[in-house]
Amino acid sequence: MKLAFALFKYFPYGGLERDFLRIAKECQSRGHEIFVYSFIWEGEVPEGFNLTMIPVKGISNHQRISDYSDKLSQLLLQEQSLNEPYDLVVGFNKMKDLDLYYAADPCYEAKVREQHGRLYRLAKRYKVFHAMEEAVFAEDKNVELLFISEIQMANFKKIYNTPADRFHSLPPGVDRSRIRPDNADDIRQTMRQKLSLNADDKLLLMIGTGYKRKGVDRAMAGLASLPEPLRSKTFLMVAGEDKLKKYRALAKKLGIENQVHLPGARDDVPQLLLASDLFMHPARHENTGTVLLEAIAAGIPQLISGVCGYAFHIEQANAGMVLSEPFQQAELNQQLLTMLTSDEWQQWQDNALHYMRHSDIFSMPDKVSDIIEATGEKRSIANVYCNHQAS
């Protein structure tokens, strides 16, 4: 099949972007042609991918997104007029003219109804985002919906009356490179030496872009609350992009500037996971949190907020502690101290690795590719039937 993949932007470290890449590569490995449309692309273009950069206009984010969607529609029409239409258009952001949508983001309209009043709906920003969400989920649309978070399905069904048979539940899609290798202890020792960590130092690791949403300030406050001498021997590393000046200032204010390392995005995440003693993800909101399952695959105990969509995996695995909601900083502080001084660390690690070996946390790209192929076959048969009836 000739497949078009549409996403606003690509950078190598985003969760949605990594999911897109693995799905597209799986489809490519099955012999399908891959065409990609984006308006921001950072990093290398995989071999065999046909990338089209769409130039967009607009000062605000919603203006650029709206312009991208309009121009993509025009390009799709051009392909059709040349008798070279795509078999399917797969979107990783909400927009019009999709055949399948990979739902990495929560329901925008549900958030608006919960947090904003009527005046908010008069803004152009709202109208753009609502229209793009409606173009995917409206009852009369024909978009297949691929969900990694079943919790979010109910919101879309309630608000848009979306037929249940359009929803497809997906297993997680952890990259197998995160699986704890046989020489994990050697890798851990080597990486900790590179990071200038002593044997009795504790490394707290966070991974992700968007520090406020991930709760980096919460983790910093937890580190600052630790009693001495534990506090002096505990370090926090955040591997991910954001505006760092604000958080460096916060670390200084809390008196932990020498214990907080903000290197930005990193290519050595698997090694960092093995070097860490505790993975932290006290997020303010997190649709799923694939990174939690990556930590499970690496065998790293976790301290996370209950708002994460994948928090139940950590509970089922008994691979750490899940904070209650609503979030309380005092609870995080206490649980952080408990975990860093507990003798259960090895048991949490063993539990995580057992869960990884006996749960399906890897097959999402294969499942999505199966659905793409089945949808393409179904619609091809439908088109043949319609053409036959017309003739």
The domain spans of the chain are 2-171+363-390, 176-358
pLDDT in tens, 1-40: 999 999 999 999 888 999 999 999 999 999 999 999 999 9
- Average pLDDT in the chain: 94
- The pLDDT of residue 152 is 82
Report the CATH fold assignment for 2-171+363-390. Answer: Rossmann fold (3.40.50)
- The pLDDT of residue 84 is 82
pLDDT at 253 over 80: yes
Q: Are 14 and 40 in contact (CB under 8 A)?
A: no
In angstroms, rounded to a whole number, what is the distance separating the alpha carbons of residues 134 and 109?
A: 9
pLDDT in tens, 131-173: 999 999 999 999 999 998 877 898 999 999 999 999 999 999 9
- The pLDDT of residue 388 is 45
- The pLDDT of residue 168 is 96
pLDDT at 72 over 60: yes
Q: Are 356 and 179 in contact (CB under 8 A)?
A: yes
Q: Are 214 and 281 in contact (CB under 8 A)?
A: yes
- The pLDDT of residue 41 is 97
Residue closest to 53 by CA, chosen among 90, 111, 7, 118? 7
Determine the average pLDDT of the residues in 207-236: 97
In angstroms, rounded to a whole number, what is the distance separating the alpha carbons of residues 100 and 88?
A: 8
Task: State percent of the chain over pLDDT 90.
Answer: 87
Half-sphere exposure of 267 (CA within 13 A, CB side): 1
Query: Cβ of 116: how many Cβ atoms within 10 Å?
Result: 12
- DSSP per-residue letters across 6-24: E-SEE-TT-HHHHHHHHHH
- The pLDDT of residue 14 is 85
Global pTM?
Answer: 0.89
pLDDT in tens, 43-67: 999 999 999 999 999 999 999 999 9
Identical fold, 2-171+363-390 and 176-358: yes
16 CA to centre of own chain: 5
Report the CATH architecture of 176-358.
Answer: 3-Layer(aba) Sandwich (3.40)
